[in-house]
Structure 1
Amino acid sequence: MTVDPAITNASASSDFDGDVGLLIDLLKLGTFIGTPMREGVADPLGLTTTDLRIVLALGGEGELAGHDLSEIMGVPPMNVSRAIAALTERGLVEPGANRTNRRRKPVRLTSAGEELFAQTMPAMERVGADLFKGVPQRDRDAFRRVAASVLARIGRWGG
């Protein structure tokens, strides 16, 4: 998918002031980041974008239940269930260690899943190097601080 440069190059903040412009830019970023992640990371590794997100979540967070993954990823539970089933069939995901709670069914990466997770890092480094090319390190660091702050507030969002 090729994204229209007029959409991605124009900052919404020129049309909207303050927080509204920032939110619109974040929405655009959230929408359009999927293409380089799919084409640069997921596709070469034989994963769907949902598969990739699950592998990244389990690789980074450890054992998680399907509903936790759904919440973290903002993906409908049915899509997460299907992806977990497909990843399990491929030998990349297995039931978690804590099987005492019948309602909460955590999953974790198998050793093959952990190897695949490790393979995502060089691919993500390539995508990141391309997307952040020319962005000074101080701006990258500031972006990470702001993103961390916004993510923390989203976690406390109450409506």
Structure 2
Amino acid sequence: MANQSQVLELENFLPYRLSILTQVVSEALHDLYAGPFGLTVTQWRVMAALGRFAPLTASEVGQRIVMDKVAVSRAVAGLMNRGLIERATDRKDRRRASLRLSTAGSDMHAQIVPIALAYEARLHEALSEDEQRLFDRLSDRLLARAKTLRDRR
């Protein structure tokens, strides 16, 4: 039987706080590009990953943006239908298909990146430069620890 004296104070529970922060930040950024560009959060994350790391397979995109295969597959299909990404079969391994931004996708990506960076800069205004560096270091440590704990399952 669990110790009944333990109380989960949700408002102070780190996983909950990180989740809420992520959700609010993601929604606020989405509000800036959804209307003008008609992208979902997942579609933008796919485009951002391809804009930085292409060519990638759909599986590699999913690993980069830490999203499940179904969500990535749906986003890729929507982006392909709009002509924003292209798929190319690997010449050496015909079973492997890589994705990259199309010309239209690159143009859209180039328009959204300044919006995203400006939003990030406005967020950073809440922290001093030292606090920003500390936040980055602490985030990296928490991410590494979370991955370690996940791998131990």
Per the TM alignment, residue 150 of structure 1 is displaced from its structure 2 partner at its CA by: 3.0
Select the residue among 89, 94, 107 that pairs with 1:115: 107
Q: How does 1:5-154 map to 2 (within 5 A)?
A: 12-13=11-12, 21-96=13-88, 98-154=90-146
Per the TM alignment, residue 55 of structure 1 is displaced from its structure 2 partner at its CA by: 0.5
Return the TM-score normalized by structure 1: 0.74
Contact 1:12/1:24 (CA < 8 Å) preserved in 2? yes
Per the TM alignment, residue 122 of structure 1 is displaced from its structure 2 partner at its CA by: 1.3
CA distance change for structure 1 residues 148 and 62 in 2, over 3 Å: closer, same or farther?
farther
Contact 2:80/2:86 (CA < 8 Å) preserved in 1? yes
CA distance change for structure 1 residues 63 and 121 in 2, over 3 Å: closer, same or farther?
same
% same residue:
30
Structure with larger Rg: 2
Contact 2:89/2:96 (CA < 8 Å) preserved in 1? no
Aligned to 1:8: none
CA distance change for structure 1 residues 145 and 44 in 2, over 3 Å: closer, same or farther?
farther
Measure, in 2, the Cα distance between the counterparts of 1:151 and 1:56. 20
Per the TM alignment, residue 102 of structure 1 is displaced from its structure 2 partner at its CA by: 4.1
Moved more, 36-45 or 54-63: 36-45
Return the TM-score normalized by structure 2: 0.76
Measure, in 2, the Cα distance between the counterparts of 1:152 and 1:60. 22
CA distance change for structure 1 residues 144 and 71 in 2, over 3 Å: closer, same or farther?
same
Measure, in 2, the Cα distance between the counterparts of 1:115 and 1:149. 35
Unpaired runs of at least 5, structure 2: 1-9
Opposite residue 126 of structure 1, the aligned amino acid is A
Measure, in 1, the Cα distance between the counterparts of 2:56 and 2:50. 7
CA distance change for structure 1 residues 69 and 141 in 2, over 3 Å: closer, same or farther?
same
Per the TM alignment, residue 77 of structure 1 is displaced from its structure 2 partner at its CA by: 1.9
**Aligned residue pairs, count:** 142
